[in-house]
Amino acid sequence: MKKLRSMVIRLGLETMASTGVYRLLQPLTGGVGFILMLHHVRPASAAAFQPNRHLEITPDFLATTLQNLRAHDIDIVSLDEARHRLATRQFARRFAVFTFDDGYRDNRDYALPIMRRFEAPMTVYVASDFAAGTGRLWWVALERCLARSEAVTVPIDGIETRIETATAAEKQAAFARLHDHFRSLPTDHDINAAIGALARRCGIDDATISRELCLSWDELKAFAADPLVTIGAHTISHCNLAHETAEQARHEIVASRERIADALECPVRHFAYPYGDKAAAGRREFDIATTLGFDTAVTTRPGMLFPGHVDHLTALPRLSLNGNFQTGRALSVLMSGAATALWNGFRRIDAQ
């Protein structure tokens, strides 16, 4: 299903690019600006099985994106500046904001040098357990388990289910099925327990992945000292907040902000909902972020920024700079807002 969805999106982007229809729609769909969502920035891997590839782009494509924005006379601003422009209705120039989720080390090693070259601000949302080296990046563990297995056995609905993973196609199908299964489990604890059991069977140490991939507190402190970098909160454990009680969801957000502020000795004014889609963040979560006084909070719901978002600053949409669509043609369509307008039925604000 996810492969089919990716193919449909690719076809839609290419069709809009080849026909030029996105240029006609942009005055209606482009909004006043947009927030880009990224995760990893690192050189491309030659591995045949990369189900998480949509979460990464190459350094060259990041540079291409920045060049494209400059060429189109789009300002690259911080979240603070974007919020200011929305609040004061300064819309003479369109603007773009770069946000990076989770706190990966490659954000410092590969993204920051390019952002410096373009004098472009960036916000990095940190899950505090990842920075502490105790968090679980279960989607990475799942990829590694399937990559090295010819078959896996996983309890699904109480039944031990054998899933073949010998071929590339079987691995991809297994990842899609198991990713959806694990995300549907009641709590983050259930996901980590299930992934941990699978990892042990496959000889993968899932407890070390966050230390391998994510910036430590000491590294984050040096990283945050760069004037282009803003650090935001991303919960303690990267849990699905909608699956938690209101009390636990609030704790995940508050404690994450406090731990980051204490470790980095800086205020934390911005927040990103883990997963961030409608199944993970809705009205309850938006209200919690508002009550806690965050200046902004971002989702993964696709969309552009419009003047009306000033009334929904804790439910802001983003555009995924997706690693499956690293082309200039796709980028032009994305920045026009035409694709997300079609996705949203031309509804400008989705904050419920």
Question: Average per-residue pLDDT in the chain?
Answer: 94
pLDDT at 4: 46
Which pTM was predicted?
0.94
pLDDT digits (tens, 9 = 90+) for 261-296: 999 999 999 999 999 999 999 999 999 999 999 999
How is 260-297 classified by DSSP, letter by letter? HHHHHTS---EEE-SS-STTT--HHHHHHHHHTT-SEE
Mean pLDDT in consecutive groups of 10 residues from the start of the chain, 352 residues: 52 68 87 98 94 97 97 97 98 98 98 98 98 97 97 94 96 96 90 95 96 98 98 97 96 98 97 97 98 98 97 97 86 90 90 89
β partners of residue 126: 102, 233
The amino acid that residue 180 corresponds to is: D
pLDDT at 155: 94
Strands 296-302 and 316-320: parallel
pLDDT at 9: 57
Residues 6 or more apart in contact with residue 272 via CB below 8 angstroms: 99, 101, 125, 232, 233, 234, 297, 298
Q: Rounded to whole angstroms, what are the CA distances from 287 to 88, 127, 226, 238, 273?
A: 23, 20, 31, 19, 12
Q: Under DSSP, is residue 104 helix (H, G, I), strand (E, B) or coil? A: strand
Closest Cα partner for 275 from 106, 123, 138? 138
pLDDT at 163: 97
Q: Under DSSP, is residue 156 helix (H, G, I), strand (E, B) or coil? A: strand
pLDDT digits (tens, 9 = 90+) for 61-113: 999 999 999 999 999 999 999 999 999 999 999 999 999 999 999 999 999 99
Tokens of residue 196, six digits: 């941990």
Q: Under DSSP, is residue 164 helix (H, G, I), strand (E, B) or coil? A: strand
CATH of 2-133+217-343, one of 3.40.190.10, 3.20.20.370, 3.40.640.10, 3.40.920.10: 3.20.20.370
Closest Cα partner for 281 from 266, 294, 295, 300? 300
Per-domain boundaries in the chain: 2-133+217-343, 138-208
Closest Cα partner for 323 from 117, 43, 121, 35? 43
φ, ψ for residue 286, nearest 5 deg: -65, -40
pLDDT at 25: 85
The answer to whether residues 10 and 324 touch, using CB atoms and an 8 Å cutoff, is yes
Q: 131-135 — which CB contacts under 8 Å span 24+ positions?
A: 131/103, 131/214, 131/215, 131/216, 131/217, 131/220, 131/260, 131/263, 132/217, 133/210, 133/211, 133/214, 133/216, 134/207, 134/210, 135/210, 135/214, 135/237, 135/238
DSSP H helical ranges for the chain = 2-19, 21-29, 59-71, 79-88, 105-106, 112-117, 128-132, 138-147, 168-183, 188-202, 209-213, 217-224, 246-264, 283-291, 328-336, 338-343
pLDDT at 13: 62
DSSP 8-class letter at 108: I
Opening angle at CA 46, ends 40 and 51, nearest 5: 55
φ, ψ for residue 125, nearest 5 deg: -90, 125
pLDDT at 20: 76
Calpha distance 249→269 (Å, rounded)? 17
